[in-house]
Amino acid sequence: MRLLTIPVALALSALCTAYPQPLRQANNNVQGQQITFDSQHHPASHYNANNDNNGYARFDDQQVLRVEVSSMEELKKLETTVEDKNLDLWSNLRIGTVDVRIPSSEIDAFKAAIPFPSTVMIPNLQDLVPDQAPALNIQPASSWNYTDNSFWENYHDLATLNNFTESMVQQFPDLVTRTSMGFTHEGREVFGMTIHGSKKRQQMEALEELVEEVEELLEEASSWWSWMFDSASSSSSSKPKELKKPSEPKKHPKAIVIHGGQHAREWIGPAVVTYIAKELILGYGSNKKITRLVDQFEFTIVPVLNVDGYAYTWEHNRMWRKNRQPTSIPFCPGIDPNRNWGYKFATGGSSGNPCSDAYHGSEAFIAKEPKMIADYILKKENVVSYIDFHSYSQLWMTPFGADCSNIPKDDEDIMEAGMGAAKALKDVHGKKFAVGSVCKIIYQASGGSLDWTYAEGGVKYSYAVELRDTGRHGFMLPEDEIIPSSEETLAGVLHLANFIRKREKQWRY
Ligand SMILES: [Zn+2]
């Protein structure tokens, strides 16, 4: 087996962003060591662009501070300070509490600028971050057994998660189809699984053909009718075209699209999403509720959307959030994919500064990851629900985030389904999730996924979910919380699918 050898040194381009501090420190600790990667799992091409980023970033003496914000004026002040000082927001900006990561050298200046009440959530972040790249300690993928919960006792690197997906496709060919979304800037493939009951699939395909034939015949008959009786009338041609409505997906079967990992450091997302896939696959045929849902819906599940960023968190910087596409500033790579979706792009709650962690990119959909999911949804024409898993804060969020004066026309159903999902989730381990629009429960954020999927993608039940916890560990959620977090989230997703099945009877086969 050929091994790719990488010298460990100071990572220049990781200095680039909102994280000048950690990499200055990384230089003191790991310079001169060697890291080896299995070239089968980590093709050399992944390292070409940024080979100076070889250290694993350190966060000595960095704090995560919880700031209490009590007015819009204070919130604006905090937003400006975070932007000016290029600090790392851990939670969303809102009136209430906001978590910010601050290097020790900046704490006094920060407190002088923001003299609001605050508490230290994490006194020394480095206590929670591995000293070496976790990519170094990977158990060979072949040794995993995906049929019990042991796989979910740990977080896994991209290669291992990809191996999980490939294994599901190979082991359950009648139930699981490999679904490729596209390729990223660094050349990695984004892919996942489409899970759907095979028996129904065949019946559905036959039925769909029949329906199409009947529709064609009806269309033909109607055009003859119009030609015969309406040709003299001009009123029909001036009738305004009906706009696309989110509640009318065109094709069967109806699809539910789920992904994690739009933000790289939110490791619990991909872990929970793979667990949901496993439960749907293994539960098919043995669990009545799951069987019924998998027969009715196509579940398209992509464990990691921002694969370049995710790999970067395993190999270089645990706190990386964005993707790895170049920007106009060479030492500040990365676009925040969840500020780059094309509905009311760059209209507030995102940044035009390429060095910011919330950088929205130079134009909508210039980031490859949101573009590929948007294209997939438009092409499918059958997506009825979309869930984008993030962490942390325990929120089940609905549209809109960009347009706070607007309420979705389907708000009642979207909220009812979301509240039911949060209740089902809470019934498992008692964790409370707040439900509401991004605007209401956090703050304005434009370019987010759920706004686009609802308003442009025609997906009625569009959500963004912030998983565990509420800030005790934040992005460093301990591994023993993966299984309980997965169990409760599965209950929420199953409730949601069941709600749609019952509420939207017109969408059934
Ligand atoms: Zn996120």
3-state secondary structure 44-79: HHHHCCCCCCCCCCCCCCCEEEEEEECCHHHHHHHH
Order across the sheet with 176-183: list the strands.
176-183, 189-195, 297-302, 254-259, 383-391, 461-467, 395-398, 434-437
- Expressed in angstroms and rounded, the spacing between residue 33 Cα and the centre of ligand 1 is 32
Residue 387 contacts residue 395 (beta carbons within 8 Å): no
Query: E-strand spans in 250-400?
Result: 254-259, 297-302, 383-391, 395-398
Please give the Cα distance from 340 to 144 (Å, whole number): 36
Residue spans of the chain under pLDDT 70: 1-54, 139, 141-142, 198-209, 211-213, 215-216, 220-245, 247, 509
Please give the Cα distance from 479 to 475 (Å, whole number): 11
Q: What is the pLDDT of residue 34?
A: 29
Q: What is the pLDDT of residue 258?
A: 98
Residue 415 contacts residue 435 (beta carbons within 8 Å): yes
Pairing assessment for the beta strands 461-467 and 395-398 based on DSSP bridges: antiparallel
Please give the Cα distance from 313 to 1 (Å, whole number): 25
- Expressed in angstroms and rounded, the spacing between residue 265 Cα and the centre of ligand 1 is 8
Give residue 230's Cα distance to chain centre. 50
Please give the Cα distance from 378 to 456 (Å, whole number): 9
- Expressed in angstroms and rounded, the spacing between residue 337 Cα and the centre of ligand 1 is 9
- Expressed in angstroms and rounded, the spacing between residue 233 Cα and the centre of ligand 1 is 54
- Expressed in angstroms and rounded, the spacing between residue 239 Cα and the centre of ligand 1 is 43
Q: What is the pLDDT of residue 207?
A: 66
Q: What is the pLDDT of residue 89?
A: 95
DSSP 16: G
Residue 490 contacts residue 482 (beta carbons within 8 Å): no
- What is the per-residue pLDDT across 303-332, written as a single tens digit (0 to 9) for each? 999 999 999 999 999 999 999 999 999 999
Domains annotated on the chain, with CATH: 3-58 (no CATH), 63-123 (3.30.70.340), 141-197+246-507 (3.40.630.10)
Q: What is the pLDDT of residue 30?
A: 29
Residue 129 contacts residue 157 (beta carbons within 8 Å): no
Please give the Cα distance from 40 to 46 (Å, whole number): 12
Provide DSSP, 432-492: --EEEEHHHHS----S-HHHHHHHTT--SEEEEEEES-SSSSGGG--GGGHHHHHHHHHHH
- Close Cβ partners of 274 (under 8 Å, ≥ 6 residues apart): 151, 152, 161, 164, 165, 301, 303
- What is the per-residue pLDDT across 410-453, written as a single tens digit (0 to 9) for each? 999 999 999 999 999 999 999 999 999 999 998 889 999 999 99
- Expressed in angstroms and rounded, the spacing between residue 263 Cα and the centre of ligand 1 is 5
φ/ψ of residue 188, rounded to 5: -80, 150
- Expressed in angstroms and rounded, the spacing between residue 68 Cα and the centre of ligand 1 is 21
Please give the Cα distance from 92 to 351 (Å, whole number): 14
Pairing assessment for the beta strands 189-195 and 176-183 based on DSSP bridges: antiparallel
Q: Give the containing element (helix H, strand E) for 28.
A: helix 20-30
Please give the Cα distance from 83 to 312 (Å, whole number): 23
Q: What is the pLDDT of residue 472?
A: 96
Active site residue 212: no
- Expressed in angstroms and rounded, the spacing between residue 173 Cα and the centre of ligand 1 is 32
User: Reduced to 3 DSSP states, what percent helix, strand and coil does the chain have, rounded to the nearest 5?
Assistant: 40, 15, 40
- Expressed in angstroms and rounded, the spacing between residue 262 Cα and the centre of ligand 1 is 6
Please tell me the pTM assigned to this model: 0.82
Q: Kindly state the tokens that stand for 207.
A: 């039925």
- CA-nearest of 375, 434, 417 to 247 is 417
The tokens 């984008």 sit on which residue?
388
The residues facing 175 across adjacent strands are none
Catalytic residue among 466, 481, 487, 504: 466
Q: Kindly state the tokens that stand for 258.
A: 């789920």
- Expressed in angstroms and rounded, the spacing between residue 390 Cα and the centre of ligand 1 is 4
Kindly give the interhelix angle for 198-229 and 288-296, rounded to the nearest 10 degrees.
40
